[in-house]
A and B are shown apart, each in its own frame.
Chain A
Amino acid sequence: MSDVAAAIADGVLPGRLWLYANYHCNLACTYCLTESAPSVSRRELPAERMVSLALEARTLGFTDLGITGGEPFMVPTMWRTVVELAGILPLLVLSNATLFDDARAERLRPLSRLPAAIQVSLDHHDAAGNDEARGPGNWAKVVDGIRRLVERGIRVRVASTLDPEVEVRESDRSALCELHRSLGIDDDDHVVRPVVRRGRARAAGIGVDALPGDLPPELTITADGAFWSPFGPTIRNGELDTDLLVTRTTTPLERPAAALARLLAGGPPTSDAQLGIR
């Protein structure tokens, strides 16, 4: 058993490996960690690179994969890549679901037979509350996208990202849960998390400050290197944040994985506060 596999087996190193597929997005949400938008630098991980990383991850003892961005499905071949990845390790793909017309959703149908889920961002039970941060028309497209995925038997999770300084009325929270249940999504597949004050949220002065001890140390590979968590490789004023960089080297994957395990063995360099960030 490799040192990395032992660290995962011992619970020192979380078993999920995240891959930042790309940084560009069809949306430009006000709290986006990566300042993503249609015209930003794409910083893509090529499909073959993601597959080779997944194969390395499985060999090393990682148990799950996560794909995030940017909007991963801005990459035209992503539907094929995620199916291939889900055949290697159980897969969670983060998406805004606004690109899922019937044809694209159909291409993802094989995910229904694989250990895979698509986690879709939906912040409010109605369009007015949701679209303020995510852009006009977002809510309707998301709800349509979720329906198309669920109709095809694909597991969908809903992630609601909330500004911790804005009090959420219980009636709004209940209505949001009613909405996801009505879409066929169980309570176990609804994630609520605070806006993290990084990227565009930092510029806007919203969200919670997150130190390494606040963030699950899930190894995250990007075109720029390996990071402590998927909340690490953020962009501020067009510059990549390096405060949560582990290594620039990502191949072989054992290099950043061993470095992260070593950091964890020494303890994260900050407190162990629990902010519910996931």
Chain B
Amino acid sequence: MIVTMSASTGPATERTFRLIRSDQAPLLARPFYARGDPGPIVAALAHVPEILELAVPFISAVLGPSAIDGRRKEIVILRSSARAGCRFCIQAHSVVALDSGLSADEVRALRGSLAIDEVFADRAERQLIGWVDTVAALGPVEPRARAEMYQMAADHELMELTLLVGATLMLNRFCTALDLPTPDDVASRLTEVGIG
């Protein structure tokens, strides 16, 4: 049994986590600000530029365009974020998922508002969502779950999809712990399509 500890028992303070503004962007971080507001994750990572300049290419390679099509990747990212309860990532990737061709109901189902079986007709996609749920649940992975994935994905795909779950969970905890703010344009878009 692991005995957990609360980070603090003291009173809450007024201080909030500060994002690095463009006029304070460290030298190694400046390329990431060159096209305007880089978003809260980059503006948070910019506090430690030597991590930023390695983390962003990693995040981009794992979460961005790759050999796995965008629709499957957004299924994984949004479902992982929903399992982790990350408000920032759920909202941001609901928008990306819509832009990747998922329907509003599919987004709602991945977020847990609708039943997966009733919305996703494709068996392979349902299996993929089951794999995400298994990996995101932490703890041991049942051999049966892995065997099901072997039937639908080559090893390189299984590796990439599984890493995608892990990387998303890492970002979920990062964004949740630091309470990163949802960008205004994301909130507006979700309001437009009736997804909170």
- Chain A residues with a Cβ under 8 A of chain B: 212, 228, 241-249, 255, 259, 263, 269
Cα distance, A269 to B49, chains bound together (Å): 15
Q: Give how many B residues have a beta carbon under 8 Å from the other chain's beta carbons.
A: 13
In the bound complex, do residue A244 and residue B50 qualify as a contact, i.e. CB atoms below 8 Å apart? no
Known contacts A241-B24, A242-B20, A242-B24; is-contact A248 B50 (Cβ 8 Å): yes
- Shortest distance in angstroms between B53's beta carbon and chain A's nearest beta carbon? 9
Cα distance, A115 to B50, chains bound together (Å): 35
In the bound complex, do residue B50 and residue A247 qualify as a contact, i.e. CB atoms below 8 Å apart? yes
Mask of B26-43 contacts with A, CB within 8 angstroms, 1/0: 111010000000000000
In the bound complex, do residue A269 and residue B30 qualify as a contact, i.e. CB atoms below 8 Å apart? yes
B48, CB-defined interface residue at 8 Å: yes
In the bound complex, do residue B50 and residue A243 qualify as a contact, i.e. CB atoms below 8 Å apart? no
In the bound complex, do residue A248 and residue B24 qualify as a contact, i.e. CB atoms below 8 Å apart? no
- Shortest distance in angstroms between B15's beta carbon and chain A's nearest beta carbon? 12
Cα distance, A226 to B5, chains bound together (Å): 33
Mask of B10-21 contacts with A, CB within 8 angstroms, 1/0: 000000000010
18 additional contacts, CB 8 Å, given A242-B26, A263-B28?
Answer: A242-B24, A242-B25, A242-B46, A242-B47, A243-B25, A243-B26, A245-B27, A246-B26, A247-B28, A247-B48, A247-B49, A248-B47, A249-B48, A249-B50, A255-B50, A259-B28, A263-B27, A269-B30
In the complex, which residues of chain A have a beta carbon less than 8 angstroms from the beta carbon of B142? Answer: none
In the bound complex, do residue A212 and residue B27 qualify as a contact, i.e. CB atoms below 8 Å apart? yes
Known contacts A248-B47, A248-B50, A255-B50; is-contact A243 B23 (Cβ 8 Å): yes
In the complex, which residues of chain B have a beta carbon less than 8 angstroms from the beta carbon of A242? Answer: 20, 24-26, 46-47
In the bound complex, do residue B24 and residue A243 qualify as a contact, i.e. CB atoms below 8 Å apart? yes
In the complex, which residues of chain A have a beta carbon less than 8 angstroms from the beta carbon of B48? Answer: 247-249
When C-beta atoms are compared, the residue in chain A nearest to B53 turns out to be: A259
In the complex, which residues of chain A have a beta carbon less than 8 angstroms from the beta carbon of B49? Answer: 245-248
Cα distance, A121 to B26, chains bound together (Å): 29
In the complex, which residues of chain B have a beta carbon less than 8 angstroms from the beta carbon of A247? Answer: 28, 48-50
- Shortest distance in angstroms between B34's beta carbon and chain A's nearest beta carbon? 10
When C-beta atoms are compared, the residue in chain B nearest to A243 turns out to be: B24
When C-beta atoms are compared, the residue in chain B nearest to A217 turns out to be: B27
In the complex, which residues of chain B have a beta carbon less than 8 angstroms from the beta carbon of A259? Answer: 28, 50
Interface centre among B20, B27, B50 (most CB of A within 10 A): B27
In the complex, which residues of chain B have a beta carbon less than 8 angstroms from the beta carbon of A263? Answer: 27-28
When C-beta atoms are compared, the residue in chain A nearest to B30 turns out to be: A269
- Shortest distance in angstroms between B111's beta carbon and chain A's nearest beta carbon? 36
In the bound complex, do residue A228 and residue B50 qualify as a contact, i.e. CB atoms below 8 Å apart? no
Cα distance, A54 to B47, chains bound together (Å): 26
In the bound complex, do residue B27 and residue A244 qualify as a contact, i.e. CB atoms below 8 Å apart? yes
When C-beta atoms are compared, the residue in chain B nearest to A248 turns out to be: B48
In the complex, which residues of chain B have a beta carbon less than 8 angstroms from the beta carbon of A255? Answer: 50
Cα distance, A263 to B24, chains bound together (Å): 17
Cα distance, A263 to B53, chains bound together (Å): 13
In the complex, which residues of chain A have a beta carbon less than 8 angstroms from the beta carbon of B50? Answer: 247-249, 255, 259
When C-beta atoms are compared, the residue in chain B nearest to A245 turns out to be: B26
Cα distance, A243 to B20, chains bound together (Å): 9
- Shortest distance in angstroms between A258's beta carbon and chain B's nearest beta carbon? 10
In the bound complex, do residue B28 and residue A246 qualify as a contact, i.e. CB atoms below 8 Å apart? yes
In the complex, which residues of chain B have a beta carbon less than 8 angstroms from the beta carbon of A249? Answer: 48, 50
Cα distance, A241 to B24, chains bound together (Å): 6
In the complex, which residues of chain A have a beta carbon less than 8 angstroms from the beta carbon of B20? Answer: 242
- Shortest distance in angstroms between B32's beta carbon and chain A's nearest beta carbon? 13
- Shortest distance in angstroms between A124's beta carbon and chain B's nearest beta carbon? 33
When C-beta atoms are compared, the residue in chain B nearest to A262 turns out to be: B28
Cα distance, A241 to B23, chains bound together (Å): 9
- Shortest distance in angstroms between A136's beta carbon and chain B's nearest beta carbon? 35
Q: Which of B23, B24, B27, B47 contacts A228 (CB 8 A)?
A: B27
